[in-house]
Amino acid sequence: MRFLSILFISVLLFSCKHNIKYNSAEGEKLPKDFIEFYERFHKDTAFQKAHCVFPMQGLPDQADSTVNSSTFRWTESNWAYHKELNLPPSFHRTFSTFGPEMIIERILDDQQGIGMERRWVKFGKEWSLFYYVGMNQFSKGKR
């Protein structure tokens, strides 16, 4: 757990704009409006807050057995703003599309067995984040 904390903090400390491959896991290009939204989401804190669906399901970083996934919710008061991450080479990011209105993003490090997940949805003409699991251990079969 201590390694996970150090890794997560170091990733956050060295975060900066990073060239992201904006293709889904299926090789399809992501919608242009999502890419524009995604880039602004990581630069503009007021925009980010306005495009998060609170209370939001998910899990905090390093969740353990004391965190109940069925009752935990992200709120405006426990939310930490997301900046674009400059990922170490061992991490890979995938986007999976589910129709034109839902995208799941996963950032995983298979070597260390850690990762995070964000789920995005389009309501009308606006994209929003509606689900977020912070950096946690993951099972190898769950991708």
Condensed to tens digits (0 to 9), the pLDDT of residues 91-111 reads 999 999 998 899 999 999 988
48: helix, strand or coil: helix
Q: pTM of the entire structure? A: 0.80
Domain boundaries, the chain: 2-137
CA distance 70 to 136: 16
The two three-digit tokens of residue 26, written as one number: 């299926």
pLDDT at 68: 83
- 12 CA to centre of own chain: 13
Q: What is the mean pLDDT of residues 3-13?
A: 43
CATH code for the structural domain at 2-137: 3.10.450.410
pLDDT at 66: 83
- The candidate with the shortest Cα–Cα distance to 103, out of 22, 12, 11, is 22
